[in-house]
Chain A
Amino acid sequence: MAGEPPGVQMALTKSELIERIAAQQTQLSPRDVELAVKTLIEEMANALAEGGRIEIRGFGSFSLHFRAPRVGRNPKTGASVELHGKYVPHFKPGKELRERVNQAMQTESSASDSESSGDVSVAARTGS
């Protein structure tokens, strides 16, 4: 039953991320924080665009994976097209990120131990 976790919240966007950091800042103005966040994202994108890697301890690493050339097909005409090899960005979460995210899920599921009995009553209600 892999898939979307239950109770997915709205995503954190760049502007929301800027606000959250700015709220904790005593030295830098919100404008500085905005510039800093945009610079960080740009530098990371630049590194990958130049074929480099990114290694952030406790967060994870980004690298490029090669996709071999292959023959594809135009789904409309059936004609075959040669697709050349390309690089795609790949992220490998680091230990701290993996553990924190996973631990949060374990805590959630032990907090909702009554979940299964709840599901039964929902099923019973929809059935009647």
Chain B
Amino acid sequence: MTALTKADLAERLFEELGLNKREAKEMVEMFFEEIRRALEDNMPVKLSGFGNFDLRDKSERPGRNPKTGEEIPITARRVVTFRPGQKLKQRVEAYAGTKS
């Protein structure tokens, strides 16, 4: 199965809600941009029925260049993590059931 993309999502808005193609494309862009903007502002995002995007601050830790073996510290950084909601987890698990 090929992956769902922004173009596919815009197509669904066009088909299901009758947005015109430009509106649909813009809506998809805005949706992801507003989520990015919130995360950039250190604000977690909670989408019920889907999941939560959280932020974690990681302190510097020792690392290694796997090719050369050279030690290089991995700098402190903020990362985004995703925690799927109960409903999504259950739906995805149900899929595993149909496959096995």
Residues of A within 8 A of B (CB): 1-14, 17, 20-21, 24, 27-28, 32-33, 35-37, 39-45, 47-62, 64, 66, 84-91, 93, 96-98, 100-102, 104-105, 108-109
Instruction: Check A9–B41 contact: CB distance below 8 A.
Output: yes
Q: Considering the chains assembled together, what is the distance between the CA atoms of A3 and B52 in angstroms? A: 16
The B40-98 residues at the A interface (CB cut-off 8 A) are: 40-53, 55-59, 76-82, 84, 87-89, 91-96
Instruction: Check B46–A39 contact: CB distance below 8 A.
Output: no
Instruction: Check A5–B23 contact: CB distance below 8 A.
Output: no
Chain A residues near B48: list those with CB within 8 A: 13-14
Chain B residues near A60: list those with CB within 8 A: 80
Chain A residues near B88: list those with CB within 8 A: 45, 48-49, 89
Residues of B within 8 A of A (CB): 1, 3-6, 8-9, 12-13, 16-17, 19, 23, 27-28, 30-32, 34-36, 38-53, 55-59, 76-82, 84, 87-89, 91-96, 99-100
Chain A residues near B51: list those with CB within 8 A: 89, 91
Known: A43-B9, A55-B4, A102-B77. A86 touches B31 (CB 8 A): no
For B34, the closest partner residue in chain A by CB is A20
Select which of A48, A97, A105 is within 8 A of B57 by beta carbon.
A105
Chain B residues near A45: list those with CB within 8 A: 49-50, 87-88, 91
For A43, the closest partner residue in chain B by CB is B12
Instruction: Check A2–B58 contact: CB distance below 8 A.
Output: yes
Instruction: Check B55–A101 contact: CB distance below 8 A.
Output: yes
Instruction: Check B91–A40 contact: CB distance below 8 A.
Output: no
Chain B residues near A13: list those with CB within 8 A: 45-48
Instruction: Check B35–A17 contact: CB distance below 8 A.
Output: yes
Instruction: Check B38–A102 contact: CB distance below 8 A.
Output: no
Instruction: Check B27–A21 contact: CB distance below 8 A.
Output: yes
Instruction: Check A24–B84 contact: CB distance below 8 A.
Output: no
Instruction: Check A21–B31 contact: CB distance below 8 A.
Output: yes
Chain A residues near B31: list those with CB within 8 A: 17, 21, 36-37, 40
